[in-house]
A = this chain, B = another copy of it.
Amino acid sequence: MTDDRTMTIREMCDTYDVTPRTLRFYEAKELLFPIREGQKRLFTKRDRARLKLILRGKRFGFSLEEIRQLLDLYHMGDQQQTQLARTYEIAQQRLTDMETQRDELNQAIDELKEQMRWGEKMLASMDQSKRAAE
C-alpha cells in the first residue's frame, strides 16, 4: 500500500519546504482541500499530489490561478473535452512563452558577456594604475 497517512501542516511544511501561510493561502484559493479535524488541517495523499503539481506548475511559470484551473480539469473525470482541449491550449501557449523567454535570455546572456569583457579590461587597467601609484 502507498502511504495514505494524513499529515499535519508542519509535516507538510518540512516535507515540501513551504510555510504554513502558503498552505493556508492555497487552501483559501481552492488549490488544496485538507480535512478539518476540529480546527486543525489534515493533508491527505490527494493534497500532497496536488501540492506537488502546484510546485511544479510554479516552476513552469504558471500563475496560481492557471494552476487551479489545470488542477480542476485534472480531476474533472472524462466529460467536457472542450475544457481539456483548452487546458492543452494553455499549456501549449505557456510552452511557447517559455521558449521565447529562453531565447531572449540566451541573447541577453551573450550580450552581457560581451559587455563584461569591457569591464574586465577596465578593471585590469585600473589595477595597473593603482599599482603604479603605490
Contact residues in B for A119 (Cβ distance below 8 Å): 84, 87-88, 91
A52 at the interface (CB under 8 A from B): no
Interface size of A by Cβ–Cβ distance < 8 Å? 36
Can you report 19 A-B residue pairs in the complex whose CB atoms are below 8 A from each other? A56-B111, A60-B111, A61-B108, A78-B126, A81-B123, A81-B126, A84-B123, A87-B119, A88-B119, A88-B123, A91-B115, A91-B116, A95-B109, A95-B112, A95-B113, A98-B105, A98-B109, A102-B105, A105-B105
Q: Of all chain B residues, which has the CB nearest A58? A: B108
For the complex of A and B, 3 pairs with smallest distance between CB atoms: A81-B126, A88-B119, A102-B105
- A residues whose Cβ falls under 8 Å from a Cβ of B: 56, 59-61, 78, 81, 84-85, 87-88, 91-92, 94-95, 98-99, 101-102, 104-106, 108-109, 111-113, 115-116, 119-120, 122-123, 126-127, 129-130
